[in-house]
Amino acid sequence: MEEVEEEKRVIDLPKILLYFFEIVVLALLGSYVYFSMMGNNDYEGVYSDHAQKELIKALFTSLKLQDIHEIPYLKITPKIQIYIQQETFFINSYYLEVKSGEVIIEDGVIQEKDIIIHTTEEEIQKIIEDENYIRESLISGKTNIEKTTSDFILFSKGYPELFISRNVG
């Protein structure tokens, strides 16, 4: 009888560990992609970007800016820079631009702005609640509106009287 040699299987531990490591990395990568794509990342909170943009939309309406428009034939759009002070040293910068009747609100600073508004969230809330409060807020200095272009340009873009006739800057 011939002796049958049984082959002993040798466990290749480094190869098994490598496969295990690959599975863990793929699982982590898959979970990262899954959780980053799920849900809405616009959290409602005091410093929420979404909440501040909603406040700016309400301020836009309260200041009667819904009629501003591009200068006809030249397509020069109205641009408003807004700085909202949160705390003593924390200021959020947004700009608002009206293009083809659509209001665009973005983070950051824009060049060639018509008006710069400095205010706080509390003042925006008060202006939204009472349309006559804007004058009191301007007089007290809690809100500051600075013109960076001529009254003629502001008139051409349809800004309301508050921004044109009164020296707000």
For the domain that residue 79 is a member of, what is the CATH number? Answer: 3.30.1050.10
Residues 108 and 141 in one domain: yes
Give the Cβ contact number of residue 54 at 10 Å. Answer: 14
Residues 29 and 72 reside in one and the same domain: no
Q: Are strands 79-85 and 115-120 parallel, antiparallel or unpaired?
A: parallel
In a domain, 44, yes or no: no
Assigned token pair, 160: 């309301």
Query: pLDDT tens digit string along 102-132?
Result: 899 999 999 999 999 999 989 889 988 988 8
User: Phi and psi of 10, rounded to 5°?
Assistant: -95, 130
Share of the chain above pLDDT 90, in %: 27
Mark whether 118 and 156 lie in a shared domain. yes
Does residue 72 sit in the same domain as residue 151?
A: yes
**4: in domain:** no
Determine the pLDDT at residue 79.
Answer: 94
CA atoms of 83 and 117, how far apart (whole Å):
6
Provide the 10 A C-beta neighbour count for residue 93. Answer: 13
